[in-house]
Amino acid sequence: MLSFETKYKPEEVGYDPARLEVVTKHFEDMIAQKKIIAANYCMARDGKVFADIAVGKLSFRQEDIREHRPDTIQRIASITKLFTTVAIWQLVENGKLRVNQRVGEIIDEFNEKPFYDITIAHLLTHTSGLHPDPGCFENKYFQSPWDFIVEDKGKNWIAAALKSGMRMKPGQEWAYCSFGFVILGEIITRVSKEFANDYITEHIIKPCGLKDTGFDFLRPEIIARTNIPNERREKAINEILAGTFEDDREEFWDKIPQTGGAIYSTASDLCKFGTMLQQGGYIDGVRILGRKAIEKMTTLYTAPHIKDYCWNAGGVYREYGLGPDMRCTDMCIYSKGTYFHEGSGGCALIIDPVEKLVVAFFIPFVDDVWSPEPLYNAAAVMWAGLI
């Protein structure tokens, strides 16, 4: 185990210090059961960081004895969507758009049926009716928007992607659609006149003081601190460090926003980003977003008639805000009104506005096999320490 010294002790913020040992032991058990390779977590209450801890190894290879560190840099995957959400709400605050605005008013390709009625709110809440991510439903013949983009070679990536059509009419169903957040990125680009990746970097990441967060994974100084969850990542890391890496992606991909899941970060940086939201949009005296925008963003948008069938969910009601996940089911012991996002791989950022508790943690799954115990069970163990 590695633990970075924090400015505050658990007992100073109303957290039982003995429970941190339980949290760490839970992750150690998950490693022993070969559910995860390692784990690290950062916790803050009312803006005061009181835990920054890591357990396990840096690499999936048994012979690699390097330790997983609290400052290990990892891909946050779909937690990127929270950064995209904040960017959209910044533009709302600045009068550049409305969340009930039709996407077709900004992107011409959406100004046609059956896409005409899709709004920015639909994209933020995964209720647009666009087809969800591959794997959400069993269909070996399914062609995702990405398949059509590849076929089109980037001539008109939006028009090509829309060839996949619609699954439902807007507002009828919750279906997880990362492509919708890429479209939100294109909206950010067109409205702000800055490429979405750059906008998020300049208006959110840098002002928040997130030193180890960004879209650029290829820099050697970043790679040297990155975890190694599988052979594919190991190969890329070794090639980058050796100076032999060749990016074989076609150039048109650089024109498509990476706002669905491409940011890399650390648990402490993510915790700082979450603390900014918990503190009403301010961090270290710098304003990122207004309190009222955060209130609206974290108000339930979906209603009980909007069901979730993704990944065999069976048609449950999916509680979702205008950007963040807001489920508070029987498995959760955090407060009603808590908002969060998970990332494949896995990782999570959870913000409890009632308890003023923010938690960010990385739990790289063994062989990328998702498991609820290192994720949902761990959240319950963490919240159990509140005094």
The predicted structure's pLDDT at residue 198: 97
Which residue shows structure tokens 């915790």?
A: 271
The predicted structure's pLDDT at residue 250: 82
Residue spans of alpha helices (H) in the chain: 17-32, 80-93, 120-124, 145-152, 157-161, 178-192, 196-200, 220-223, 231-242, 267-278, 291-297, 378-383
Sheet holding 2-3, edge to edge: 2-3, 48-56, 38-45, 357-362, 347-352, 339-343
The predicted structure's pLDDT at residue 241: 85
CATH numbers and ranges of domains, the chain? 1-72+328-387 (3.30.450), 76-318 (3.40.710.10)
Pair 4, 269: CB distance under 8 Å? no
Pair 134, 270: CB distance under 8 Å? no
The predicted structure's pLDDT at residue 173: 97
The residues with which 325 forms a beta bridge, in sequence order, are 320, 340
Q: Which of 43, 23, 77 is nearest to 370 (CA)?
A: 77
Q: Which helix (H) or strand (E) holds 50?
A: strand 48-56
Pair 299, 99: CB distance under 8 Å? no
Query: Is 271 buried (19+), middle (13-18) or exposed (0-12) by CB count in 10 A?
Result: buried
Phi, psi of 307 (to 5 degrees): -100, 160
The predicted structure's pLDDT at residue 221: 76
Q: Which of 240, 276, 225 is nearest to 40 (CA)?
A: 225
What is the Cα–Cα distance from 297 to 287, expressed in whole angstroms? 17
Q: Which helix (H) or strand (E) holds 48?
A: strand 48-56
Pair 323, 82: CB distance under 8 Å? yes
pTM score, whole prediction: 0.96
- Which DSSP string do the residues of 317-361 spell out, in sequence order? E--B-SSSB----TT--SPTT-EEEEETTTEEEEEETTTTEEEEE
* Average pLDDT per consecutive 10 residues, the chain (387 residues; last block may be shorter): 95 98 97 96 98 95 92 95 98 98 98 97 98 92 92 92 96 97 98 98 98 84 85 87 81 92 96 98 98 98 95 94 94 94 95 98 93 94 97
**Residue 266's Cα: distance from chain center in Å?**
12
Secondary structure of residue 99 in the 3-state scheme:
coil
Q: Which helix (H) or strand (E) holds 307?
A: strand 307-308
What is the Cα–Cα distance from 69 to 125, expressed in whole angstroms? 34
What is the Cα–Cα distance from 365 to 38, expressed in whole angstroms? 8
Show the tokens assigned to 211: 């030193």
Q: Which of 361, 343, 352, 386 is nearest to 30 (CA)?
A: 361
Residue spans of alpha helices (H) in 33-101: 80-93
What is the Cα–Cα distance from 79 to 41, expressed in whole angstroms? 15
